Amino acid sequence: MMRKRYVPMSDGSVVDAETGEVNTAGFIAIHVPRQSSQFGQRFFMASQDATVTLAQRRHEFGMDGYAVLWYLLGRLDYENLIQMPQTEIAEALSMQPSHVSRAMKKLVDIGAIHKGPKVGGRAAYRLNPTLAWKGKPERHKDALKARMVAAKMSVVA
């Protein structure tokens, strides 16, 4: 694709730097293709402080819990929704389903994930938004406020 260089003039017109043609009829629309993320199609933002805290508290949820948490992070859906059968997690991690169930309960107990609404009759969870976020930044602020309200903490605007 050939790119043209235009030089803006003080009278609002633009000059094609290659041909010298002056455009005074209006504006020039330039389409800039959206840059893809260097992380690929799937990525999320994480709090470094929260990840350090989780690493320090790993004894509270064990290596199974740690593996399940990392798998959930890798499969995180928009606005931190987690909706996948525990049997799928168990199969992907070569774990017993009962170990996944126990790990999920421990992750709920320490506040890393929260029980969410049932989706299609199946339990769903949400990753704590103070740990990581997948979605629009402005919705992250809303999720943090909602989390504080649910935890009966004061929200300062």
pLDDT digit string, tens, across residues 34-47: 656 666 666 788 88
Q: In this structure, is residue 39 part of a structural domain?
A: no
Q: Which domain holds residue 65?
A: 54-150
Residues 6+ apart with CB under 8 A from 65: 58, 103, 106, 107
Provide the pLDDT for residue 154. 55
User: What pLDDT, in 10s, does the model give residues 128-147?
Assistant: 988 888 888 888 888 888 87
- Rounded alpha-carbon distances, angstroms, from residue 25 to 6, 11, 15, 28: 14, 12, 12, 9
| 28 and 79 both lie in a single domain | no
Nearest to 16 by CA among 33, 102, 24, 65: 24
pLDDT band at 6 (very low <50, low <70, confident <90, very high): confident
Domain count, the chain: 2
Give backbone dihedrals phi and psi of 44, rounded to 5 degrees, phi first.
Answer: -145, 165
- Indicate whether 90 belongs to any domain: yes
Residues 9 and 67 in one domain: no
Residue 38 in any domain: the answer is no
pTM for this predicted structure = 0.67
Query: Who has greater pLDDT, 57 or 91?
Result: 91
The span from the CA of 25 to the CA of 36, in Å, is 34
